[in-house]
A and B are shown apart, each in its own frame.
Chain A
Amino acid sequence: MAGELGQQTVELGSVVRRAAEESYLALRELVEKSQAESDWKGAYGGRQRSDSEKKIDLLKFIARTRQRMLRLHVLAKWCQQVPLVQYCQQLGSTLSSHETCFTQTADSLFFMHEGLQQARAPTFDVPSALEVMLTGSYQRLPRCIEDIGSQNKLSPDEEKHALQKLDTSVRYKVLVNPRPKEVSSISVTDGIAVFRVDGEFKVLLTLGYRGNLDLWRILHMELLVGEKNGPIKLGEIRRFALGDDIERRMAVSENPFSVLYAILHEFSISLAMDTIIRQANVLRHGRWKEAISSERISDSTAGQTGNAAVMQLGQDGEFDSSGFRLPVLKLNYWLDGKNSGPAESDLSPFIKIEAGQDMQIKCQHSSFILDPLTDKEANLSLDLSCIDVEKLILKAIACNRHTRLLDIQRQLCKNVQISQSPKDVILKRDIGVAKCFKQTSWARL
C-alpha cells in the first residue's frame, strides 16, 4: 500500500517557477492590454475598458495570483515533511525485503521438511546383528545379500574343500537311503552319485536342491535304451522338464531313490516297448513281410505310439504304477500262408513280449523250445540297450527248429531201428560250442 504512495513526483522548484511565470505573464498581459488601449485610443473601434473594468481585471488578477501563491505556500510548507516521508518509504522497502526473506525461508523449510523424510536412518537389521554378535554366525541371510552372494565363485582351495565335504555327504546319503535292488550300479565321485540301470537309464545326482543340502538335484540324465545305432537321445526340453519333476517328487518323498527309480524305469520301459513295436512294424513291412504278423494287445489306458511315453498319474498326483498298462506285443512267425483271419494264426508259434507285474520286459514263447546251446529251455530275452527284434525272432526260430528236430529224432528213435553206415551223409552244423546235430538218413527207414 505504501509502496504505491509517492511514486510519481514533481520537482518543487519547477512548480514554483511555473507558478511565478504564470503570474508574471498574466500581469504582463494586463499591462499590455492597457498599453494597447492607451496607444490605440479608439483606433480599432475596440471597446475601451472603463476604469472600473480595469480595476476589476486587476483585482481578478490579484485574486488568482493570490490563490496560486497560497497553494504554493502550502506546498512549500508541506515540503518540510519530505524527510519524514522518505524515511517511511525507506522503512517500507526494508520491510518488503524482510517479507521476501521470510517467504524464501518458509519455502526452504517446506522443502527441507520433504527432504527430511528421505534422510531417515534405515531400518537396521537388529536381530541378525544380535545373532552375529552373540553366536559369531548367522543362520539366515537376508534376501538381497542372498542374490548378490550367489554370484560369487569359490576359490580353487575352497572349491576343493567344499567338494570333499559334498562328496562325503553324498556318500553318506547314498549309503543311508534305501534303493531298489534293480539298480545295477551306483558310484560316487567328486560329490556326484551315478545311478545306473543297465539297459534303461543313467542319472547323475548331487545334493543341493534349491539350496537345501538334504535334497537331491539331477545333474544329468541319459537313456541306455537303444537300438543298433545307439541309445535313444533324450531331448533337452524333455530332459529338463522330467528332471524338474523328479527333483520335486524326490524332495517330498521319504524314499527318494525309489521314486527316482520308479519314474525313470517306467519311462525307459515304455520307450523300450514303443521301440519294440516300431521295429516289429518295420519288419512286418519289410523283409519279413509274409513271414510274421504282429498284434498289439493293449489293456485299459496307456500305450501310445511314438517315442514319448506318457506317465499316468493317479488322482492325487502321486505316481501310481499300478494303473499303468503297457501294450503287449504278440509276434507270430512261420505263418501258414493261406490263413488270413486272426483265429487261424493261433496255430502258428508266437512270441509274446510284455512288461510283467514287476515292470520288466519279458519275452515268452508260445510253446516249449529248447536252446541248442544250453540244452535247457530257451530263455528269450531282449537286450534293452540294443533292441533287436529281428535277432529275437531268429533265435526263437532257431530254438524252435532245434526243438522240432529233436522231437522228430525222438519219434524216430522210438519206432525205428536206426543204423548207420559209412555211406551215410552226415550233416553237421557247427554251433559255436562243440555241439553237433546229426541228421539221420531217411533212406534206411
Chain B
Amino acid sequence: GNGVQGGDRPEDPSKQNLAQVTASIQRTLGLLHQLNLNVSSFSSASQLPLLQRLNALVAELDTMQKLAEGCNIQVPMEVVNLIDDGKNPDEFTRDVLNSCIAKNQITKGKTDAFKSLRKHLLEELEEAFPEDIEAYRQIRATSAAESKRLAQSQNVLPNGDSNVKAEH
C-alpha cells in the first residue's frame, strides 16, 4: 500500500518517487515470497513458473534501480545502523523530537528569565525616571506595532507567543 502522508509539501515529486520505490520494493518482496514457495515445493511442473518469476524478479530489481536514481533523500546513518541492529528506526525520530523539545524548554526558561528581568528593571526605572520610561514605552509600542504589521504582510509563521499584548 501507499503509506504517504500529507501531500501539501513542496517536495511532492520526491514523495511520489519515494512511493514508487517503496512499491517496487514491496513487489520484489512479493516476488521473493512466491519464489520461496516455488523453490521449496519444487516439482517438474513448477519449472516454468520458477523461471518466469526469476525473470520477473530481475526485471523488478532493474525497475527498482532505475527508480532509485531519482531519489535523493538523505538518510541519517543512525537510522541505517538501527535497522541493521534490528531495532526500530522510529527510535531515532523519537530522539530527535525529544532533544528538540528539551532545547525548546531550556530556551523558554531563558526567555522567561529575561522577561522577568525586563519587567523588574522597568518597574524600578519607572520609580526613578518616570518620564523617561513613559517615552520609552511609547517608542516600544510604535515599533512593536510596526514589526507586527510587517510580519503579517509577509505572512511569517508566528511564534507561540504571538498573542502577547502590546509591549508594556
Contacts and interface: CB of A to CB of B under 8 A. Distances in A.
Contacts of B72: 11-13
Contacts of A71: 83-84
A20 B68 contact: yes
B107 A99 contact: yes
Interface string B141-158: 000000000000000000
Interface residues of A, number: 54
Contacts of B106: 95, 99
A65 interface: yes
Nearest to A30: B54
Contacts of A229: none
A58 B39 contact: yes
B73 A78 contact: no
B29 A66 contact: yes
Interface stretch (A81-89, A191-199, A238-246, A263-271): A81-89
Interface in B111-152: 111, 114
Interface stretch (A2-10, A296-304, A370-378): A2-10
A81 B32 CA distance: 27
B82 to A, nearest CB: 9
A65 B32 contact: yes
Contacts of A6: 76, 78, 92, 96
B79 A55 contact: no
Contacts of B74: 9-12, 82
Given A66-B33, A78-B90, A92-B100, A5 B95 contact: yes
A8 B76 contact: yes
Contact of A82 (B68, B73, B77, B111): B73
B71 A11 contact: yes
Contact of B35 (A24, A62, A76, A96): A62
Nearest to A28: B58
Contact of B61 (A24, A62, A85): A24
Contact of B75 (A15, A21, A102): A15
Contacts of A83: 9, 11
A445 interface: no
Contacts of A72: 25
A81 B93 contact: yes
A5 B76 CA distance: 8
B96 A2 contact: yes
A24 B75 CA distance: 23
A16 B64 contact: yes
A99 B110 contact: yes
Nearest to B92: A5
A165 interface: no
Nearest to A4: B99
Contact of A27 (B57, B65, B70, B110): B57
B58 A76 contact: no
Given A55-B42, A102-B114, 15 more contacts: A2-B95, A5-B99, A6-B76, A11-B71, A12-B73, A15-B80, A58-B39, A59-B36, A66-B29, A66-B33, A75-B80, A79-B73, A81-B93, A82-B75, A85-B76
- CB-based closest 4 A-B pairs: A2-B99, A13-B71, A9-B74, A16-B68
